[in-house]
A = this chain, B = another copy of it.
Amino acid sequence: MSSPSRSYLKLETRFSRLSALSGAAAILQWDSAVIMPPGGSSARAEQMAGLTVLSHELLNHSETADLLDEAEKTVSDLDDWQRANLKEMRHSWRHATAIAPDLAEAHSRATSLCEMQWRQARHDNDFASLSTSLTEVVNLTQKIAAAKANVFKTTPYDALLDEYEPGCSSMIIDRLFADLEEFLPGFLTDVQDRQSSEPPVILPNGPFDEAIQKRLGRDFMTALGFDFNHGRLDVSHHPFTGGVADDVRLTTRYQAEDFTESLMGTLHETGHALYEQGLPKKWGTQPVGMARGMVLHESQSLLVEMQLSRGHDFMAFTLPQIKSAFNGQGPAWELENLQRLYLKVEPGLIRVDADEVTYPLHVILRYRLEKALLSGDLSVADLPGAWNSGMQSLLGITPPNDTMGCLQDIHWPSGAIGYFPTYTLGALAAAQIFQSAASGIEDFSEKIQDGRFQDLLRWLRLHIHSLGSSTSTDEILRAATGGPLGSAAFKTHLQARYLSR
């Protein structure tokens, strides 16, 4: 085989510089959420804007286009990873250059304003105050979607979706969501009937010392394989996983009266973090070395939180440690009671607080509404009404106000249309991957009960993490689980967990 062309190697250098800039931005973003004193925010905004503009200029530079054209002429000189890398470079270049710089700038300015107003509007329960700026964001997002649809030869919505989950489409989502919408309402009734016949959940009594909560979180992270030499655990208002693959920064938050929120949140973020820490080091500065997309990313967090951590085996491993750490005694601390607590199913108003049964219904509502907003079938003014009637028909409850309704999420004010479906696609993928992993690992259940997670991590590394973006989500899932993304494993999982226990 010949060696890679000069143009390809120059692209690697260029994209490694882009990776350095986005890595710097990721650390600064973490800093803003965790460490920064309030008065530092405007200087920070300038720093972030500077990094964004320079990255954009670097990617949009005519030299980048020339190098891509040239390198693609000699693609046969590249090995598989280099070829996949070149493909990913072209893909991010397409997204960056699809829209005119002034549209990108207008969008960035509009979303900054709208996010700011959204915080106030949510606080004041005042949707009307948001409607002008949200309308502007939607209008600009429509223009971006149209421009990208033109480049990617797809529908406007799918062009946006492609930013978060390359290769995905409404067609795939429609089919899967239709299936869930048919299955979930009846299933939900069955689960609620069953849960109401069970003994009531007894809440363990706090307060739970924050230092102990933190130690437990760190212990379980370590047991799962999180490498603290390449990462940290800190506190922020909204938990997230940030930083870069070599320096993964998780956050959580602690409540004195309820240790489960922090614990489950930490485990959720640990799933994201293990994915990042398992990405191929050799390709760490290149597009092909990045996580494949939001569906697999969310699959990894939900695999750890929902599939693994709320399951009986994991609880059998963790409960003695939790109980002893908090000196827990009495019936509240029995495994069956805690599992009923972890698995309580109940339709609620807030997506981020939802259980795994009702969560997809929240997502289906948002998916429907954002498609209608983007197509123009739904105006921003009509959003609250459409939200409330959607909640009623999907979950049987109507928000008492917009703060607990259509003002609860930051996604649309921040211009993220096309993101929501990845949460539920991730949940389906999590179930499907977990099922494969569990059946592919000998004595799986015993290993989990013993806290021996090495085989599970090795399996995930091999089948998901180490592949980076070398191939598509679809191919990764087929190779790992034997088939394309579907809802069967998820439904099987729900039935086993909530009705057959």
Q: A31-B31, A53-B17, A54-B54 are in contact. Are A23 and B36 (CB under 8 A)?
A: no
Identify which of B16, B28, B35 contacts A35 (C-beta below 8 A): B35
The verdict on A230 contacting chain B, using a C-beta distance below 8 Å, is yes
Are A47's CB and B27's CB within 8 A? yes
- Chain B residues whose C-beta falls within 8 Å of the C-beta of A193 in the assembled complex: none
A74 to B42, CA, bound (A): 32
What 1/0 mask marks residues of chain A from 42 to 79 whose CB sits below 8 Å from any chain B CB? 11101101110110000000000000000000000000
The verdict on A228 contacting chain B, using a C-beta distance below 8 Å, is yes
- Chain B residues whose C-beta falls within 8 Å of the C-beta of A43 in the assembled complex: 23, 244-247, 284
Are A37's CB and B244's CB within 8 A? no
- Chain B residues whose C-beta falls within 8 Å of the C-beta of A245 in the assembled complex: 43
Are A37's CB and B284's CB within 8 A? no
Interface residues in A1-60 by Cβ distance below 8 A to B read 16-17, 19-21, 23-24, 27-28, 31, 35-40, 42-44, 46-47, 49-51, 53-54
Closest to A43 in B: B246
Identify which of B24, B40, B54 contacts A28 (C-beta below 8 A): B24
Are B285's CB and A39's CB within 8 A? no
Are B40's CB and A230's CB within 8 A? yes
The verdict on A197 contacting chain B, using a C-beta distance below 8 Å, is no
The verdict on A185 contacting chain B, using a C-beta distance below 8 Å, is no
Q: A24-B51, A28-B24, A53-B17 are in contact. Are A229 and B37 (CB under 8 A)?
A: yes
A244 to B47, CA, bound (A): 11
What 1/0 mask marks residues of chain A from 221 to 253 whose CB sits below 8 Å from any chain B CB? 000000111111000000000011111000000
- Chain B residues whose C-beta falls within 8 Å of the C-beta of A23 in the assembled complex: 43, 46-47
Are B247's CB and A285's CB within 8 A? no
Are A44's CB and B285's CB within 8 A? no
Are A16's CB and B246's CB within 8 A? no
A245 to B44, CA, bound (A): 11
Are B37's CB and A50's CB within 8 A? no
- Chain B residues whose C-beta falls within 8 Å of the C-beta of A31 in the assembled complex: 27, 31
Q: A27-B28, A31-B27 are in contact. Are A39 and B284 (CB under 8 A)?
A: no
Are A246's CB and B17's CB within 8 A? no
Q: A27-B28, A28-B27 are in contact. Are A21 and B40 (CB under 8 A)?
A: no
A244 to B50, CA, bound (A): 15
- Chain B residues whose C-beta falls within 8 Å of the C-beta of A20 in the assembled complex: 46-47, 49-51
Are B53's CB and A231's CB within 8 A? no
Interface residues in A331-355 by Cβ distance below 8 A to B read none
- Chain B residues whose C-beta falls within 8 Å of the C-beta of A244 in the assembled complex: 40, 43
Are B232's CB and A39's CB within 8 A? no
A247 to B28, CA, bound (A): 13
Closest to A231 in B: B37
Are A50's CB and B24's CB within 8 A? yes
A228 to B40, CA, bound (A): 10
Interface residues in A105-133 by Cβ distance below 8 A to B read none
- Chain B residues whose C-beta falls within 8 Å of the C-beta of A284 in the assembled complex: 43
- Chain B residues whose C-beta falls within 8 Å of the C-beta of A38 in the assembled complex: 229
Are B37's CB and A232's CB within 8 A? yes
Tell me how far the C-beta of A43 lies from the nearest C-beta in chain B, rounded to whole angstroms. 4
Are B27's CB and A247's CB within 8 A? no
Q: A20-B47, A24-B24, A49-B20 are in contact. Are A246 and B40 (CB under 8 A)?
A: yes
Identify which of B42, B53, B247 contacts A36 (C-beta below 8 A): B247
Closest to A284 in B: B43
Q: A17-B53, A31-B31, A53-B17 are in contact. Are A24 and B39 (CB under 8 A)?
A: no
Are A42's CB and B246's CB within 8 A? yes
Are A40's CB and B285's CB within 8 A? no
Identify which of B16, B28, B46, B247 contacts A37 (C-beta below 8 A): B247
A156 to B244, CA, bound (A): 42
- Chain B residues whose C-beta falls within 8 Å of the C-beta of A28 in the assembled complex: 24, 27-28
A20 to B247, CA, bound (A): 23
A243 to B28, CA, bound (A): 12
Closest to A38 in B: B229
Tell me how far the C-beta of A304 lies from the nearest C-beta in chain B, rounded to whole angstroms. 20
Interface residues in A169-228 by Cβ distance below 8 A to B read 227-228
Are B46's CB and A247's CB within 8 A? no
- Chain B residues whose C-beta falls within 8 Å of the C-beta of A46 in the assembled complex: 16, 19-20, 23, 285
- 13 A-B pairs with CB atoms under 8 Å apart are A17-B50, A20-B46, A21-B51, A21-B54, A24-B24, A28-B28, A31-B31, A35-B232, A37-B232, A37-B247, A39-B227, A39-B230, A46-B285
Known contacts A17-B54, A23-B47; can you find 4 more A-B pairs with CB under 8 A?
Answer: A20-B49, A37-B230, A40-B247, A43-B245
